[in-house]
Amino acid sequence: MADRLVCRECHRVQDSDISEEDACQACGSTSLTEDWAGYVVIAHPEKSEIASEMEVTEPGRYALKVR
């Protein structure tokens, strides 16, 4: 899982077929990195305290720490 790219803006874990030159599939940012740690899957952001703390409004896979 460490070879996956993560968006520095929204912390969304990107699909494996995306490269660092591409844009985030969720927010459109072009700031992607392989330097991240921790992983959380948010299924119901409206009911999740973690989603609220991370300011996540869409279900998906997110990195907890992005450098």
37 labelled binding-site residue: no
Q: In whole angstroms, give the CA distance from residue 48 to residue 42.
A: 8
5 labelled binding-site residue: no
27 labelled binding-site residue: yes
DSSP secondary structure letter of residue 58: S
Q: In whole angstroms, give the CA distance from residue 2 to residue 23.
A: 19
Tokens of 60: 């998906």
56 labelled binding-site residue: no
Residues making up the annotated binding site for Zn(2+) are 7, 10, 24, 27
Residues making up the annotated binding site are 7, 10, 24, 27
